[in-house]
Amino acid sequence: MLLTIQPEELTERWYDVFEKIEWTEVLLFLFYVACIFLVRAIVLGISRRLSTNRVFRHVDPVLRSLLNWATTYGILLFMIFYFSNSGWMFDRLFEIGNVEITAFLLILVVLIVSLANRASKIITRYILPNVYQRYHLDRGMSYTFDRMFHYTVMAIAIVVSLTTVGLDLSALTVFAGVLGVGIGFGLQNIASNFISGIILLFERPIKVGDRVIIDDLIGDVDKISMRSTVIKTIHNEHVIVPNSYFLEEQVVNRSYGDPRMRLVVPVGVAYGTDADKVKKVLLQAAQEEEQAGGVVLSDPVPFVNFAAFGESSLDFELMVWIDNSNQVISTKSALNFRINRLFAEHEIEIPFPQRDLHIKSMPDMKQQ
78 falls within a domain: yes
List pLDDT tens digits, range 263-320.
Answer: 999 999 999 999 999 999 999 999 999 988 778 998 889 999 999 998 889 999 999 9
Domain boundary (209, 224, 253) is at: 253
Same domain, 77 and 152: yes
Q: Determine the pLDDT at residue 207.
A: 86
Domain boundary (134, 168, 202) is at: 168
The C-alpha angle 222, 223, 227, rounded to 5 degrees, equals 140
105 falls within a domain: yes
Task: Give every CB contact of residue 181 below 8 A, 6+ residues apart in sequence.
Answer: none
Same domain, 108 and 150: yes
> What's the domain count of the chain?
3
Same domain, 224 and 287: no
366 falls within a domain: no
Other Cβ atoms within 10 Å of 327 Cβ, number: 17
Could you tell me the pTM of the whole model?
Answer: 0.59
175 falls within a domain: no
Q: Determine the pLDDT at residue 1.
A: 41
Same domain, 219 and 332: no
Which whole number is the average pLDDT over 177-203? 73
Rounded Cα gap, residues 71 and 73, in angstroms: 6
pLDDT at 342 over 90: yes
Q: Determine the pLDDT at residue 2.
A: 44
The boundaries of the domain holding residue 242 are 189-253
Same domain, 140 and 21: yes
42 falls within a domain: yes
Rounded Cα gap, residues 11 and 235, in angstroms: 54
Q: Determine the pLDDT at residue 133.
A: 83
Same domain, 134 and 231: no
Tell me, what DSSP letter sits at residue 151?
H
Q: Determine the pLDDT at residue 3.
A: 46
Same domain, 77 and 224: no
